[in-house]
């Protein structure tokens, strides 16, 4: 891996400025700053991916620059007509940009660097049903996974949740809180002010802690097919 010299402070400064000036004219006038800010995040994501690729060479096929999500918002059904979401995001999955299969997710906001994993999407009823069934069928394995000391840094598991355990699962199931959920994801906060090499090490360490959780979900979702657009 080549010497790392990205500067996330530049990215976060731009994102903060965009949050305060969230309009087309401002963005068009600050394309140079945007490209520089995006490049810092791109270099971080590439460095993380290259380190993870030591254990999974397939990751090297990811086109990092193209995989970063656009800042543009879909405002058609929103009262908030701000055109941009001031967050740089990427799903570092060798299977593609879609949320399933699950893999490492990075999000840089004006204030935080989020390292995530798991299933963020709650709109796929079939996927939700498959994960719930896996939690019931493999209750001991799931419990051991979430109680492992190395997993504590990832807790709590977050996601949309119902008020009650859905049928046909028993309301008094020991893992009832997880059966209520419609999505299951993790969010850790990395120290964005670390030296680049230290930050990459921290993120890859968090990714390793999340890996068994992602693998559990992906086994549960093995038969799921993303809907065609």
What single string gives the DSSP state of each residue in the chain? -PPP---HHHHHHHHHHHHHS-SHHHHHHTHHHHHHHHHHHHHHHHHHHHHHTTT-GGGGG--HHHHSPPSB---TT-S---SB---EEEEE-TT-SSSSS--EEEEE-SS-EEEEEEE-----HHHHHHHHHHHHHTHHHHHHHHHSGGGGGGPSPB--B-SSPPTTS-TT-TTHHHHSBS-EEEEEEE-TTS-HHHHHHHHHHHHHHHHHHHHHHHHHTTT--PPP-
Residue 18 confidence (pLDDT):
99
Q: What are the pLDDT digits (tens) for 57-102?
A: 999 999 999 999 999 998 888 888 999 999 999 999 999 999 999 9
Is residue 225 situated within a structural domain?
no
pTM equals: 0.93
Q: What are the pLDDT digits (tens) for 158-208?
A: 999 999 999 999 999 999 999 999 999 999 999 888 999 999 999 999 999
Is residue 139 situated within a structural domain?
yes
Is residue 147 situated within a structural domain?
yes
Is residue 150 situated within a structural domain?
yes
- Mean pLDDT to the nearest integer, 4-22: 97
Is residue 3 situated within a structural domain?
no
Is residue 2 situated within a structural domain?
no
Its domain, for residue 133, covers 8-220
Instruction: Please count the structural domains in the chain.
Output: 1
């Amino acid at each position: 891996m080549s010497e790392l010299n990205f500067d996330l402070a530049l990215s976060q400064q731009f994102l903060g400025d965009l949050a305060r000036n969230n309009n087309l004219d401002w963005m068009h006038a600050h394309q140079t700053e945007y490209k520089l800010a995006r490049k810092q995040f791109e270099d971080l994501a590439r460095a993380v991916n290259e380190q993870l690729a030591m254990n999974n060479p397939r990751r090297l096929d990811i086109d990092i620059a193209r995989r970063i999500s656009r800042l543009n918002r879909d405002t058609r059904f929103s009262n908030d007509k701000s055109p941009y979401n001031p967050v740089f995001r990427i799903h570092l999955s060798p299977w593609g940009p879609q949320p399933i299969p699950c893999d490492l997710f990075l999000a840089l906001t004006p204030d935080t660097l989020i390292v995530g994993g798991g299933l963020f999407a709650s709109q796929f009823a079939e996927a939700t049903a498959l994960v719930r069934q896996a939690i019931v069928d493999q209750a001991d394995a799931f419990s051991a996974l979430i109680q492992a000391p190395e997993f504590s840094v990832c807790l709590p598991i977050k996601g949309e949740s119902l008020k009650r355990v859905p049928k046909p699962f028993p309301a008094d199931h020991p893992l009832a809180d997880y059966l209520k959920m419609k999505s299951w994801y993790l969010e850790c906060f990395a120290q964005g002010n670390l030296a680049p090499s230290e930050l990459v090490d921290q993120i890859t360490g968090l990714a390793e802690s999340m890996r068994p959780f992602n693998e559990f979900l992906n086994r549960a979702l093995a038969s799921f097919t993303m809907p065609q657009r």
